[in-house]
Structure 1
Amino acid sequence: MATADPYGPVHTEGNAVPPLDPDLAGALDDLAGIHPGIDLIRDGIRHLALDRHTPDTTQTLLATLAGSSGADAITAIGHLIARLANADHNPALRGLPLDTQKQAQRHGEQAAFHLNDPTLHQPASEASAAITGT
């Protein structure tokens, strides 16, 4: 005879992970088909949004996505933007006029600078800390 679950049923409608909200779903839809790498990122975001998490994994994900300036996904994206905008790292830009290359590089570096600003990461870090009570 099966023992009753002391915590009650976990597979109830009220315990289900809700579908994507329109803002997130729309943002992911807008990114469809641009590049296979972006499609992988979209798939990862969708998986993270729809997966069931524990408080511990939620805390870790918040820190990993944007709450640990210098060691999170937003930081990595900032560095990627700087790389893609730099003709020294992206041969596709080498045929452009030199002033255009330099302008793209400058804007890429500015994007990385802003995406690596610790104040940008602070709210996600605080959300992560709130879960652990620290």
Structure 2
Amino acid sequence: MTTTNLVHTAGNQALPLDDDLADLLDRLAGVHPGIDLMREGIRLLALDHHDTDQTQTVIAFLAGSSDGTDILTALAHLIARLSNADTNPSLRTLPLDRQKTAQHHGEQAQFHLTDDWLHQHASEASAAIDGV
């Protein structure tokens, strides 16, 4: 006997964004064209219809990859790059102590954002979808 899962919407369409995510995306608007592209990518991922395999893969590539091939790791490296005067010439106009402080905090952000523990829950969510 086939049962109907009553949590699905008509045509199995994605639900609208929840208020927290919609508000966050709105507050990120206009900072930089790159941030706007990320906002639109997040919106697309949230509203697009995914099958279970694609959902599992997207979650893994957002933050749950076992080898660091995910968006969270890419953001960690970007933060380290932007906070380092060697790779971001705009910081070279700052006093040396501020350059070093910014670099230190960027390196700490990269270290913590690439920690396996931070990726664990997304990895486990992805695995659960995959039946692992």
TM-score clears 0.5: yes
Amino acid of the residue matched to residue 37 of structure 1?
G
- Aligned partner of 2:91 among 93, 111, 115: 93
Using the aligned pairs only, state the percent identity. Answer: 69
Deviation track 1:35-85 (CA, whole Å, cap 9, x = no partner) reads: 000000000000000000000000000000000151100000000000000
Aligned to 1:82: 80
Aligned to 1:44: 41
Structure 2 SS opposite 1:101: helix
Aligned to 2:100: 102
Confirm or deny that 1:114 pairs with 2:131: no
More deviation, 65-74/50-59: 65-74
Q: Distance in 2 between matches of 1:88 and 1:14?
A: 52
Indicate the structure (1 or 2) with the bigger Cα radius of gyration: 1
TM value normalised by structure 1: 0.89
Q: How does 1:28-67 map to 2 (within 5 A)?
A: 28-67=25-64
Structure 1 SS opposite 2:122: helix
Structure 2 SS opposite 1:94: helix
Question: What RMSD in Å do the two structures reach over aligned CA positions?
Answer: 1.1
Q: Distance in 1 between matches of 2:102 and 2:81?
A: 10
Quote the offset at 1:14 in angstroms: 6.2
Q: Which ranges of structure 1 fall in alignment gaps of 5 or more residues?
A: 1-11
Q: Which ranges of structure 2 fall in alignment gaps of 5 or more residues?
A: 1-8
Q: Which runs of 4+ in 1 moved over 4 A?
A: none
Amino acid of the residue matched to residue 106 of structure 2?
G
